[in-house]
Amino acid sequence: MPELPETETIARDLDREITNRKVVSVLVEKTDVLREVDATQFSERLIGQRIEKVWRRAKLVVIDLSSGDHIVVQPRFTGALLIDAGDLPARERQYSCLHFALDDGRLLHYRDIRRLGTVALMTHAGFAAYTATLGVEPLDSSFSPAVLSGILRASRQAVKKVLMDQRVLAGVGNIYANEALWRAGIDPSREAKRISASEAESLHAAITSVLSESIAHRGTSFRDYVDASGGKGGFVEHLAVYGREGLPCPRCGAKLIGTHEIDGRSTVLCASCQR
């Protein structure tokens, strides 16, 4: 599932490519991906609108329109936003759920093979109410070691589960929770409230560094994630633990172990140097 670095990459690409373009037509082929509005409302409210900005909130790609509406895309497992200048591969077009034509002749597709992602059209008030339920952004200046420590002290759950709770920390998912906890030397199953202030400071540094580095490499691609041009992310080559169960720990050489005991998600850790 695309996490913060992947959706940030998509949003930056789209902001550069389609900001100030006008929507001239809309085609919805798979209505089950739509939220908040039906296909007719979606089309009517988009046509003629200018795209003012594309940005990210949590794991969402947000497209601001001149009407004040927001297109809010949650890609989940196989969703992608792809710019089509007539050169999009046939396979990608095959799984296009909707697209809109821009005034420069290009199309913007929402492609989703498994159709588990969503595309919502929200008013400004609706969007504000929706995003108010999301937690602090880990790359914002407001996210400090003290803020993280306060979040952790308030929970008896496993620290990894807390990091992935979008209501308290927005954008971190399974990949980067695994990586950050390894960097900080913290066992993912430890009770969050038992993380000391100094450990929270190390974990804060680990979270911000791994997210920033992944953005620099345009995200992590295992299978489905692609950027707005269909390109793969390169951070997979820099992962220390995620997807490396049974291999040596890059830090101490011990065998990495895997478990699904924490919230049913794949967790990989080094039992030797994560305490």
Q: b/e string for 231-261 if b means 16 or more Cβ within 10 A? A: eebebbeebbbbebeeeebeeeeeebbeeee
- Among 21, 93, 153, 265, the active-site one is 265
The answer to whether residue 188 is catalytic is: no
Question: In this structure, which amino acid lies at residue 107?
Answer: L
Two structure tokens written together for 141: 């200046």
Please tell me the distance from the alpha carbon of residue 26 to that of residue 255, in angstroms, as a whole number: 52
pLDDT tens per residue across span 91-145: 888 999 999 999 999 999 999 999 999 999 999 999 999 999 999 999 999 999 9
Q: What is the mean pLDDT of residues 193-206?
A: 98
The answer to whether residue 193 is catalytic is: no
Please tell me the distance from the alpha carbon of residue 42 to that of residue 19, in angstroms, as a whole number: 19
Q: Looking at the predicted structure, is the pLDDT value of residue 1 above 80?
A: no
With helix as H, strand as E and coil as C, how does 69-136 read? Answer: CEEEEECCCCEEEEEECCCCCHHHHHCEEEEEEECCCCEEEEEECCCCCEEEEECHHHHHHHHCCCCE
CATH topology of domain 4-131: N-terminal domain of MutM-like DNA repair proteins (3.20.190)
> Where does the pLDDT of residue 232 fall: very low under 50, low under 70, confident under 90, or very high at 90 and above?
very high
The answer to whether residue 30 is catalytic is: no
CATH topology of domain 145-269: Helicase, Ruva Protein; domain 3 (1.10.8)
Please tell me the distance from the alpha carbon of residue 152 to that of residue 199, in angstroms, as a whole number: 11
- Among 57, 59, 111, 218, the active-site one is 59
Question: In DSSP terms, which residues pair with 9 in a beta bridge?
Answer: none
Domain chopping of the chain, boundaries: 4-131, 145-269
The answer to whether residue 250 is catalytic is: no
pTM: 0.96
- Among 3, 17, 179, 199, the active-site one is 3
Question: In DSSP terms, which residues pair with 124 in a beta bridge?
Answer: none
